[in-house]
Every structure is written in structure tokens, then in C-alpha cells.
Amino acid sequence: MIIRTIAMAGGLAGAVGLSQFPEYSQQYTQRLSGAVEELSAVVAQFDADAAGLGLDREAALEDLRQGGRMGEARAISMGYVLNRHQMLSEDLAAIRRSTTIGKILNAGRFTDLELAQKAWGDFKPAVPVTGAGLGLAGIGFLAGYGLFAGLFGGLALLGRRRSEARA
């Protein structure tokens, strides 16, 4: 009876936790989209400046590096911006192509710490009323129940075997 109660609590915790994923992923995706949009403007301006001088992106970065300490520092920071833009753009494209289950399976696309912290700060848990939220609540319940039932059931079985061996 105790094991069932613990398993039920684990199932409910899993249901509540996983049912929130669609809303959190929406918050994260909105922030990600905004970040990509802003970085796209910076990258487009950099590329336009480079093209105006007859340079491609790599040549422009190298030219910038040769411009003294400030130029070198700016080339490093611009390199970071270009890399971040590419990474976030790839993440956004993958997330937008994914179904809810696909997003869970591609959780590695939700790893930009700055965006994740801001999305979490704005996130408000809600009762899931979408099909995806309710479906994930069911999956979360089954996963939590199964995990806790298996864990505590296994421990209880192990304890019984030790008691029987001593008798």
C-alpha cells in the first residue's frame, strides 16, 4: 500500500511536471525567435559593411583583427555574434519543425542558458488544456508512476529476500 501511494505521488509529480513543457517550450521559442531576429540585423549590417568594402565575412573579420587592439577585440566579439547567430538559427529551425514530442526528444535545442533563464523567469505554470499538455500529463504520470513503483517495489523485494534469507 505504501509503495502504491509513493508511486501515485511520483506519477502525479511526473504528470504535473511534463504537462508544463508545451507552455515552457513556447516561452523559450518566442525568446529564441526574438534573439535570432536581433542577431540577424547585426549580422546583415556586418555583411553589408563588408560587401561595401569588397570583402566577404571572413576577410572582413581578418581586416578588423589587423586594426589594432580595439579592432582585434571587436573582431573577437563579432565572431561570437556570428557563431551565436548560426547556432540559435539552427535551434530555432529545428524547434519550429518539431512536434511536441519532437521538442522533448530534442531537448538539447533548449540549452541556451541566457534564453532559458529568461524564459523560466517569465514562465507561469498553468493547467494544461491543450491536447499536447494533456497527453504529456498522461505520459508524465505513467513515467513517474512506473519509476517510483519500480524503484520502491524493487527495494521492498530486496528487503524481503534478505529477511527470508536470515530466517
- Give pLDDT tens digits for 115-145: 999 999 988 877 666 777 777 778 888 888 8
- Confirm whether pTM is higher than 0.75: no
Please check whether residue 119 is in contact with residue 27, taking contact to mean a CB–CB distance below 8 angstroms: yes
| pLDDT (tens digit per residue) in 19-69 | 788 888 989 999 999 999 999 999 999 999 999 999 999 999 999 999 889
Question: What is the four-CA torsion angle of 101, 29, 19, 112, rounded to 10 degrees?
Answer: 90
| Mean pLDDT score across all residues of the chain | 87
The grid coordinates listed for 117 are 533563464
Taking the C-alpha atoms of residue 43 and residue 77, their distance in angstroms, rounded to an integer, is: 12
Taking the C-alpha atoms of residue 25 and residue 18, their distance in angstroms, rounded to an integer, is: 11
The values of phi and psi at residue 155, to 5°, are -65, -40
Helix-strand-coil split of the chain, %, nearest 5: 85, 0, 15
